[in-house]
């Protein structure tokens, strides 16, 4: 092992590179005698967790020996100072700080173990994909040199593979080289069922990912794939460092706290601190391949509510940008009138929906609550189609859209609300509320109120539903309206509100009662994006993607609905070439979903944000992360 004298000498070299205040803080600490103590000392003093360059620089070949124990990976993760000597000091007065408010605070700055948009966006500041979607829906290269197509040979003529070429001189935020092996590793990491990767749907239909050389990645499909832009495309499936996450694949994934909270990235900023439920701080990434980012630091703050976030920007000018402003139009207009900032929005296919649980969530079932169990655990009444159909008919979508969303919403009857070529017209009847028709439908199907208590029964079970969603003014107003409409057709509704951070990002075991993935309710409401091309979303609704304990509730099929007809139709879509036939298959799949009432569409929500007048370059994106162009 390395001697104590060697460690002391090494620390002296480290301290020589640090600011005076840091040296003063460290001076009172005892000299470390182990690798772990060295980790703790630097972490305590510097608060940085993601880079090992200085450690390797100081110890050289002896680094492996110094940490050849169970703490070696911790050491590699905790040290983040390889570039400190080369980075010019910035005084607070000179700092350019971008302050972003995400009132739904991120649970993790990586999208693979937490499923909220808030987590995806927190990662987008530092993690990158092969390509992003631009606001017009076009694909924009990020880590890739260009977009592979049939015309340039990047997509094979048999549609069985796509080959990506990485840009030159890509480096992680610790200075290490990013290669095709990192792309391959990311795929392996997410498809390992024990990892509990919530983005596994992005890799559906992929047989293998291989590294042809250090800059070339080939993705091989299980069957001809007409739209091959799923994995590593658009927000949600970025590339992670194989070196940093090497020991975090499978069941170990959730134990890698340092890696999950401080992932190395290739983007314009690197993360320097993260606090679950609070936010993150980023600094310029000195190893970024492009022009240096404008801001010295990015501060992403979480917590509060949408109204408070909007006011902090538009009225108080305490922040530069605020995300996901679900605030009634009248309130927003009053805040904007202060003249300090602007409201921006973009429409894509971001549909607020009610998800109908097709399994039994009864508490008496214990560990089998809301488990599919190969179809042996159906919901007591919501799998009887006339009931959820009547629930849909009772809803006034136009009223919800106009009163609660205004300019930033449109009532919809489809799960696929855009692009226009994919939008079905077969379901538009839902735009007209029909309370009388809903009551007649239930009467005709024998769902009656036999004891005159105002609540109908089916097979002796009263129609009482628990209806959960996140704590949010617009969502609570929506819940209240729908509860009243359902009461008019003989359905009793108990409303439940969950903290968004736990609902979307909580551990499904620790927070089982509040996690949307566990779905301990009859129905739940949230928003999902079907994307520029809806194939990934449609794939997620197949039987294979039902959320179960066997996949750590990481599938995309939240309703636990299974329909072999749908699966067969999806298999045809996966092999169809782009064109009218494929567009028609998308509409057919949408129609099967809608008419199954596994999900009830309500409103196509615009992405709404606010920003100060002094912040330029905002190009809000209906198809990707709000922070997709943070380098600009």
CATH of the domain at 238: 3.90.76.10
Q: Are residues 378 and 455 in the same domain?
A: yes
Q: Are residues 407 and 486 in the same domain?
A: yes
The whole-angstrom separation of Cα 247 and Cα 245 is: 6
Asked if the structure places residue 555 within a domain, the reply is no
Report which of 310, 365, 300, 364 is spatially closest to residue 340, judged by C-alpha positions.
310
199-215 pLDDT tens trace:
998 998 999 999 999 99
Our CA dihedral for 184, 187, 188, 190, rounded to 10 degrees, sits at 160
Burial class (CB in 10 A: 0-12, 13-18, 19+), 616: exposed
As a whole number, mean pLDDT of residues 516-532 equals: 95
| Span of 88-97, 177-186, 455-464, 577-586 with lowest mean pLDDT | 88-97
Strand segments (E) across 166-233: 206-213, 216-221
Per DSSP bridges, beta strands 321-322 and 97-102 are parallel
For residue 296, what is the domain's CATH number? 3.40.190.10
DSSP label at residue 413: S
170 has pLDDT over 70: yes
DSSP label at residue 62: G
Q: What is the pLDDT of residue 413?
A: 98
Q: Are residues 97 and 81 in the same domain?
A: no
Q: What range defines the domain where residue 187 resides?
A: 127-250
The whole-angstrom separation of Cα 444 and Cα 459 is: 15
As a whole number, mean pLDDT of residues 290-313 equals: 94
The whole-angstrom separation of Cα 437 and Cα 253 is: 50
Q: Are residues 297 and 357 in the same domain?
A: no
Whether the CB-CB separation of 356 and 417 falls below 8 Å is answered with no
Whether the CB-CB separation of 114 and 107 falls below 8 Å is answered with yes
Consecutive H or E run containing 58: helix 53-59
Asked if the structure places residue 539 within a domain, the reply is no
Q: How far is CA 58 from the centre of its chain?
A: 38
As a whole number, mean pLDDT of residues 71-81 equals: 38
Enter the tokens of residue 127.
């993690």
Q: What is the pLDDT of residue 33?
A: 38
Asked if the structure places residue 174 within a domain, the reply is yes
The whole-angstrom separation of Cα 47 and Cα 78 is: 9
Consecutive H or E run containing 608: strand 607-612
Whether the CB-CB separation of 237 and 594 falls below 8 Å is answered with no
As a whole number, mean pLDDT of residues 161-188 equals: 97
Enter the tokens of residue 239.
């590339």
Asked if the structure places residue 220 within a domain, the reply is yes
The whole-angstrom separation of Cα 446 and Cα 444 is: 6
Q: What is the pLDDT of residue 8?
A: 39
Which residues are registered as beta bridge partners of 630? none
Q: Are residues 362 and 222 in the same domain?
A: no
Q: What is the pLDDT of residue 608?
A: 95
14 has pLDDT over 70: no
Q: Around 284, how many Cα atoms within 13 Å sit in the side-chain half-sphere?
A: 20
Domain count across the chain: 4
Q: Are residues 236 and 357 in the same domain?
A: no
Q: What is the pLDDT of residue 65?
A: 43
Whether the CB-CB separation of 324 and 627 falls below 8 Å is answered with no
Q: What is the pLDDT of residue 358?
A: 98
Q: Are residues 233 and 205 in the same domain?
A: yes
DSSP string, 492-553: EEEEEEE-HHHHHHS-TTTTTTT-TTT--SSEEEEEEE--SSTHHHHHTTSGGGB--GGGTT
| Span of 49-53, 104-108, 190-194, 454-458 with lowest mean pLDDT | 49-53
Q: Are residues 365 and 330 in the same domain?
A: no
Alpha-carbon separation of residue 513 from 106, 358, 498 (angstroms): 19, 17, 10
Report which of 192, 112, 201 is spatially closest to residue 539, judged by C-alpha positions.
201
Q: Are residues 356 and 501 in the same domain?
A: yes
Q: Quick count: other Cβ atoms within 10 Å of Cβ 441?
A: 18
As a whole number, mean pLDDT of residues 555-578 equals: 94
The whole-angstrom separation of Cα 415 and Cα 218 is: 32
Consecutive H or E run containing 341: strand 341-346
75 has pLDDT over 90: no
The whole-angstrom separation of Cα 23 and Cα 2 is: 23
The whole-angstrom separation of Cα 314 and Cα 339 is: 7
The whole-angstrom separation of Cα 155 and Cα 148 is: 6
Q: How confident is the model at residue 92 (pLDDT cuts 50, 70, 90)?
A: low
DSSP label at residue 345: E
Top pLDDT among 160 and 235 is at: 160
Report which of 231, 251, 237, 129 is spatially closest to residue 178, judged by C-alpha positions.
129
Q: What is the pLDDT of residue 279?
A: 94
Per DSSP bridges, beta strands 139-141 and 131-133 are antiparallel
Q: How confident is the model at residue 505 (pLDDT cuts 50, 70, 90)?
A: confident
For residue 491, what is the domain's CATH number? 3.10.105.10
Q: How confident is the model at residue 332 (pLDDT cuts 50, 70, 90)?
A: very high
Enter the tokens of residue 94.
């000179």
238 has pLDDT over 90: yes
Enter the tokens of residue 316.
């108080």
Q: Are residues 299 and 376 in the same domain?
A: no
Q: How confident is the model at residue 577 (pLDDT cuts 50, 70, 90)?
A: confident
Query: What whole-number percentage of the chain has pLDDT above 70?
Result: 85
Q: What is the pTM of this model?
A: 0.74
Q: Are residues 160 and 143 in the same domain?
A: yes
Q: What is the pLDDT of residue 47?
A: 43
DSSP label at residue 39: H
Q: How high does pLDDT run on average in the chain?
A: 87
DSSP label at residue 404: I
Consecutive H or E run containing 101: strand 97-102
Enter the tokens of residue 151.
């015309």
As a whole number, mean pLDDT of residues 276-288 equals: 95
Asked if the structure places residue 537 within a domain, the reply is no
Q: What is the pLDDT of residue 93?
A: 64
As a whole number, mean pLDDT of residues 470-499 equals: 96
As a whole number, mean pLDDT of residues 40-45 equals: 44
Asked if the structure places residue 24 within a domain, the reply is yes
Strand segments (E) across 134-243: 139-141, 161-165, 206-213, 216-221
120-146 pLDDT tens trace:
999 999 999 999 999 988 999 999 999
Strand segments (E) across 431-504: 457-458, 461-462, 464-470, 492-498
359 has pLDDT over 70: yes
Enter the tokens of residue 106.
């991120």
Which residues are registered as beta bridge partners of 1? none
The whole-angstrom separation of Cα 76 and Cα 64 is: 10
- What residues contact residue 480 under an 8 Å CB cut-off, 6+ apart? 495
Q: Are residues 428 and 475 in the same domain?
A: yes
Whether the CB-CB separation of 82 and 174 falls below 8 Å is answered with yes
Asked if the structure places residue 454 within a domain, the reply is yes
Residue with tokens 């919403």: 409
Asked if the structure places residue 79 within a domain, the reply is yes
């Amino acid at each position: 092992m390395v001697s104590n004298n060697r460690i002391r000498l090494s620390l002296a070299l480290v301290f020589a590179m640090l600011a005076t205040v840091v040296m003063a803080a460290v001076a009172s600490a005892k000299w470390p005698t182990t690798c772990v103590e060295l980790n703790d000392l630097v972490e305590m003093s510097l608060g940085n967790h993601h880079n090992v360059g200085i450690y390797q620089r100081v110890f050289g070949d002896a680094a492996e020996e110094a940490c050849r124990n169970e703490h070696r990976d911790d050491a590699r993760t905790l040290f983040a100072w390889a570039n400190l000597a080369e980075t010019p000091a910035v005084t607070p007065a000179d700092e350019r700080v971008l302050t972003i408010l995400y009132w739904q605070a991120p649970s993790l700055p990586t999208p693979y173990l937490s499923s909220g948009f808030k987590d995806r966006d927190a990662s987008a500041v530092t993690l990158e994909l092969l390509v992003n979607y631009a606001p017009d829906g076009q694909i924009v290269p990020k880590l890739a040199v260009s977009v592979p197509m049939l015309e340039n040979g990047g997509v094979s003529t048999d549609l069985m593979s796509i080959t990506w070429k990485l840009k030159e001189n890509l480096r992680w935020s610790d200075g290490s080289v990013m290669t095709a092996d990192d792309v391959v590793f990311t795929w392996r990491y997410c498809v390992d069922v024990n990892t509990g990767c919530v983005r596994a749907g992005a890799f559906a239909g992929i047989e293998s990912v291989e590294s042809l050389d250090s800059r070339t990645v080939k993705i091989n499909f299980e069957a001809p794939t007409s739209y091959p832009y799923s994995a590593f495309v658009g927000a949600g499936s970025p590339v992670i460092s194989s070196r940093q996450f090497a020991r975090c694949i499978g069941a170990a994934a959730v134990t890698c706290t340092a890696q999950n909270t401080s992932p190395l990235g290739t983007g314009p900023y690197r993360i320097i601190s993260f606090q679950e439920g609070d936010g993150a701080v980023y600094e310029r990434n000195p190893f970024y391949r492009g022009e240096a980012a404008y801001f010295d630091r990015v501060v992403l703050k979480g917590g509060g509510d949408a109204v408070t976030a909007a006011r902090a920007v538009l009225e108080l000018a305490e922040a530069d940008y605020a995300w996901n402003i679900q605030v009634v139009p009248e309130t927003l207009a009053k805040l904007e009138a202060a003249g300090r900032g602007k409201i921006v929005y973009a429409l894509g296919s971001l549909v607020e929906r009610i998800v109908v649980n097709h399994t039994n969530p009864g508490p008496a079932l214990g560990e089998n609550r809301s488990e599919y169990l190969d179809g042996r655990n159906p919901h007591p009444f919501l799998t009887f189609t006339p009931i959820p159909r009547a629930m849909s008919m009772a809803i006034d979508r136009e009223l919800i859209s106009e009163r609660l969303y205004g300019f930033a919403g449109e009532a919809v009857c489809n799960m696929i609300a855009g692009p226009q070529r994919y939008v079905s017209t077969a379901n538009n009847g839902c735009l007209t509320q029909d309370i009388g028709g809903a009551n007649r439908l239930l009467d005709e199907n024998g769902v009656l109120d036999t004891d005159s208590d105002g609540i109908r029964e089916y097979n002796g079970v009263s129609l009482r539903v628990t209806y959960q969603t996140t704590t949010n003014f617009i969502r609570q107003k929506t819940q209240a309206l729908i509860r009243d409409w359902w009461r008019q057709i003989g359905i009793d509704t108990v409303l439940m509100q969950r903290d968004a951070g736990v609902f979307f990002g909580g551990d499904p075991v620790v927070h089982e009662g509040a996690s949307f993935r566990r779905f301990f309710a009859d129905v739940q409401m949230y928003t999902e994006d079907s994307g520029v091309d809806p194939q990934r979303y449609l794939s997620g609704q197949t039987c294979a993607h039902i959320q179960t304990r066997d996949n750590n509730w990481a599938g995309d099929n939240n309703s636990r609905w299974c329909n072999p007809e749908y699966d067969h139709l999806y298999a045809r879509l996966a092999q169809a070439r782009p064109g009218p036939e494929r567009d028609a298959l998308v509409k057919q799949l949408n129609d099967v979903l809608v008419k199954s009432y596994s999900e009830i569409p309500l409103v196509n929500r615009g992405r709404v944000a606010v920003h100060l007048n002094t912040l330029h370059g905002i190009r809000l994106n209906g198809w990707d992360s709000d922070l997709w162009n943070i380098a600009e």
